[in-house]
């Protein structure tokens, strides 16, 4: 059995997961959804800021007619609202990160499943992440094969994913 494994053909491929995710239509939909959520969250924060500024202006205008007790209560309310607004940017980032993870998890699984199936179907014994290895034996970029499996047309414009006929070497110095 060990002799069979030793005699087995080693076929090495590589892929850029980022390039694959970048050409998947699901990723574009997720990005669009995230941009819409981001815009809504920012608008909400801006509305809160506008309300706070209006409340501060009203307080400053009406302060002369308020008793000290009312002024104290109003100041505390304004300070609380200001503190909530100060943490809004962090909350927005947290919400966006959480939503991004929710949206991308099934897309990443689909991409990984397609890479696994493509590797098996085409006899690749090893598939490496393209950008991780510094030195590696020569291999083939399997992005075009995975894209074909997913029915995705790859762009051939300069600066995008290379055409299948021109695999890049994985050895870097």
pLDDT single digits (tens) 125-146: 999 998 887 777 778 889 999 9
* Start-to-end CA span in the chain (Å): 37
C-alpha span between 103 and 27 (Å, rounded): 8
**Cβ neighbours, 10 Å, residue 105:** 10
Size (the chain), residues: 173
CA 46 to chain centre: 25
Over residues 4-12, the mean pLDDT reads: 71
Q: Tokens representing 120?
A: 């098996």
CB 143 within 8 A of CB 13: no
- The tokens for 101 are 């993870």
Residue 167's pLDDT is what? 37
92-114 pLDDT, tens digit each? 999 999 999 999 999 999 999 99
Q: What is the dihedral of CA 119, 120, 125, 131, to 10 degrees?
A: 20
Strands, sheet with 126-129, edge to edge from the N-terminal-most edge strand? 126-129, 12-15, 140-141
Least Cα distance to 86 among 52, 112, 110 occurs for 52
pTM for the structure as a whole: 0.69
Residue the block writes with tokens 């994913």: 161
């Amino acid at each position: 059995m060990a002799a069979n494994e030793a005699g087995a053909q080693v076929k090495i491929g590589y892929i850029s997961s980022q390039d694959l995710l970048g050409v998947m239509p699901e990723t574009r939909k997720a990005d669009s959804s995230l941009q819409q959520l981001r815009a809504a969250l920012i608008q909400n924060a801006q509305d809160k800021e506008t309300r706070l500024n209006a409340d501060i202006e009203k307080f400053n205008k009406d302060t002369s007619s308020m008793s000290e007790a009312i002024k104290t209560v109003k100041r505390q309310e304004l300070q609380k609202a200001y503190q909530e607004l100060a943490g809004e940017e962090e909350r927005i980032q947290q919400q966006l990160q959480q939503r991004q993870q929710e949206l991308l998890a099934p897309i990443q699984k689909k991409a990984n499943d397609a890479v696994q199936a493509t590797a098996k179907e085409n006899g690749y014994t090893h598939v490496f992440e393209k950008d991780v290895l510094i030195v590696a034996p020569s291999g083939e970029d399997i992005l075009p094969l995975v894209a074909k499996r997913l029915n995705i047309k790859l762009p051939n414009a300069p600066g995008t994913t290379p055409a299948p006929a021109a695999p890049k070497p994985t050895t870097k110095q």
